[in-house]
Amino acid sequence: MTAVAPLLRLRAQEIVRTWRIWVLPAVLVFFAATGPLITRFTKEILATALGAGQADAIPLPDPTATEAYAQWANDLTQIVVLVVVVIAAGAINSEVRSGVAALILVKPVARTAYVLSHALVLIAFVGLAAHLGAVVSWLVTGAVFSTAPPGPVLGATAVWVVLAAVLISAALLASAAFDAYAGAAGAGIGMFFLLLLLGAVPQLAQYTPAGLIPLTNAVAAGTQEPGRTMWWPLASGLLLVGVLLAAAALVFRRRELR
């Protein structure tokens, strides 16, 4: 495997010089900043939309910082994951279609290094952007609710980054296999819904990557069961990332380039 460092620099420059450097952080900061405000003023928003009488008829608990963190986790696991898949889905096949991949691989660059450079930089970028959002969520929640410990929001975000790494790896595998951008995006989204469905089975959620989605929500809301370890979903999730990336490298090594 050669030319890894130049490839990593190239991938980082691609993110900095394209729409990706703005879109994902902007989405994350938006949800991080608005989530605590929506949580805090839900009753007032309903009163404005429905009228005071109808709003009072809806039983709502008093808003708390924990609910704001739970809202952040919901945004990550329901909306931001789709943005991440869209970003990753065209990483390889767009360069194959345009001829950029063939041009890069003319140089002494291994195809495995080509695939892994995409994965490492995308996962690092998503992780940094997600934790930027987590810090904003913590600061805004603290300003709105006076007290807001950073542990739950940062911990939930770290768990979510492992989930994002799984989805990025699945999208890259599809991107290495298919020319169609929609096909690669569909594969990544399909992986997300598969994990979502499997996560509803307690035994699978406890020991497999299917538990990453409920674990993210539980850590944020402070409802993680004391006797239930979080390391099985995390470890199995990282293992799945390795398997998917190995498969992506194998598929790409056998792919004909234009």
Taking the C-alpha atoms of residue 252 and residue 247, their distance in angstroms, rounded to an integer, is 9
209: DSSP letter: G
Q: What is the DSSP letter of 208?
A: S
Residue 136, C-beta contacts closer than 8 angstroms, at least 6 positions apart? 28, 29, 32, 33
Q: Tokens for 170, please give them.
A: 């699945």
The DSSP output letter for 79 is I
How many CA atoms within 13 Å lie on the side-chain side of 240?
24
Place of tokens 């370890």: 229
Both tokens of residue 22? 């703005």
Q: How many CA atoms lie within 13 A of 86 on its CB side?
A: 9
Burial of residue 218 (number of CB atoms within 10 Å: 0-12, 13-18, 19+): buried
* 3-state SS record for 179-207: CCHHHHHHHHHHHHHHHHHHCCCHHHHHH
Burial 220-231 (b: 16+ CB within 10 A, else e): bbeebeeeeebe
Tell me what pLDDT residue 243 has: 98
Two structure tokens written together for 209: 């990557």
Q: Could you tell me if 35 and 68 are in contact, meaning their C-beta atoms sit under 8 angstroms apart?
A: yes
Half-sphere exposure (Cβ direction) of 235: Cα atoms closer than 13 Å? 6
Rounded Cα distance, 195 and 159, in Å: 14
pLDDT for position 49? 60
At residue 92, the 3 state secondary structure works out as coil
**C-beta of residue 78 within 8 angstroms of C-beta of residue 27:** no
Cα 68 to Cα 153: distance, rounded to the nearest angstrom: 9
What's residue 1's pLDDT? 45
Per-residue pLDDT of the chain (258 residues; tens, 9 = 90+): 456 788 889 899 989 888 889 999 999 999 999 999 998 887 776 666 656 555 455 666 678 999 999 999 999 999 999 999 999 998 999 888 888 888 888 777 788 999 999 999 999 999 999 999 999 999 999 999 988 899 999 999 999 999 999 999 999 999 999 888 899 999 999 999 999 999 999 899 999 999 999 999 999 998 887 667 889 999 999 999 999 999 999 999 888 776
pLDDT value at residue 59: 62
* Whole-number Å distance between alpha carbons of 42 and 38: 6
